[in-house]
Amino acid sequence: MTPLMGVAFAPAAQRWLSETTRARVLNVFDRACNLVNLDGQVLSVVTSERGLTPFAVAVAAGQAAPFRVVTEASPVTVQPTRLGLGPLEIDCSQARLWPSAPDWAAIRRRFADTALIDDMAALAFGRGPAGSLLELFDPAVPPDSAAPSGPDALGGPLSLSLRERARVGAADLTAGLQSRNLALATAGARRLAGAGGGLTPAGDDFVLGALLAAWAGLYGPGVEALAGAIAEEAAARTTTLSGAYVRAAARGECSAYWHALFEAWLQPAAAGRRLALETLLAVGHTSGADALAGYMAARLVPRQFNFRPTHIV
């Protein structure tokens, strides 16, 4: 067995280790491995330089790609402070607990100044990857720049079908949160869920960002109470991993990249904001940018979209 030392874990990861009896490998990459238990709950094991997610254990790895020895057929054994993953033995007994929920009270006070979203958008536009949902709002990207047909190629423009699906879904989700109309918000989440393909489709990332915006008070006080029902609507229609991220956002939990962004914006001076924003925008192919679009939608959808949301009977 090859030993690895767990250095930090999120509360959801600690609960997963304590409550799980059986699990399997969901998917595996060089520096991350995702597991799922019999209840459909996900645990991510990541190298420490990747940054924690809301359901992750970070390990100190002496090599760049420690999970290459793991496959989806590798056996998994689980104990409260120890995890067996194929030939890897991960000791979490000394891991520190990382608070996956940021200081929402401070964030709400800070983002009571809605002009901060305009500042964020100004920094983000033109810096996100091509084909992200930020293009829905960027005044420099005309709607007719979308690809006319076919699947969305990584690094290429949005297809017309995804652009229109995302526009309508974003309008419904945003209007539902603004008006506290759960039926309308969940209709938007249904339309967005699974849109775009990949392990975390673009539409799901947008929903994640919108739920974090609800926690940040961008839709008014108490709207985060709707987040759980909205997340379940999306999670039921997408991948297991993406659903785990959306459900975490509904609980007010987010990845370290988001923590860094919020911490930068909590400071009175603008120093550090661009770096934190660019770091988030670099997450995944377009995941960080898609989620940021969802976060800013409370401010940007009413400005950019010129039609009424779908009527819900």
Backbone angles phi, psi at 24, to 5 degrees: -140, 165
Q: pTM for the complete prediction?
A: 0.93
> Can you tell me whether residue 97 is helix, strand or coil?
strand
| Alpha-carbon span 270 to 263, nearest angstrom | 11
For residues 84 and 34, the answer to whether their CB atoms sit within 8 Å is no
Q: Which residues pair with 96 in a beta bridge?
A: 8
Predicted confidence band of residue 306 (pLDDT cuts 50, 70, 90): low
CA angle 110, 242, 256 (to 5 degrees): 40
**Per-residue pLDDT at 145:** 60
Q: For residues 238 and 153, which has the higher predicted lDDT (pLDDT)?
A: 238
> Above 90 in pLDDT, residue 159?
no
**Per-residue pLDDT at 156:** 58
The tokens describing 216, both together, are 């940040």
**CA-based radius of gyration for the chain:** 19
Q: Can you tell me the mean pLDDT for 255-261?
A: 98
> Above 80 in pLDDT, residue 310?
no
> Above 60 in pLDDT, residue 307?
no
Pairing of strands 32-37, 82-85: unpaired
Q: Which residues contact 189 (CB under 8 A, 6 or more apart)?
A: 169, 173, 207, 230, 231, 233, 234
**Per-residue pLDDT at 56:** 98
pLDDT digits 0-9 by tens, 220-252: 999 999 999 999 999 999 999 999 999 999 999
pLDDT digits 0-9 by tens, 111-144: 999 999 999 999 999 999 999 999 999 888 776 6
Q: Can you tell me the mean pLDDT for 2-27?
A: 97
Predicted confidence band of residue 48 (pLDDT cuts 50, 70, 90): confident
pLDDT digits 0-9 by tens, 50-101: 789 999 999 997 777 999 999 999 999 999 999 999 999 999 999 999 999 9
**Per-residue pLDDT at 144:** 61
> Above 70 in pLDDT, residue 34?
yes
> Above 70 in pLDDT, residue 308?
no
Q: Can you tell me the mean pLDDT for 275-303?
A: 94
> Above 60 in pLDDT, residue 148?
no
**Per-residue pLDDT at 152:** 42
**Per-residue pLDDT at 63:** 76
**Per-residue pLDDT at 155:** 46
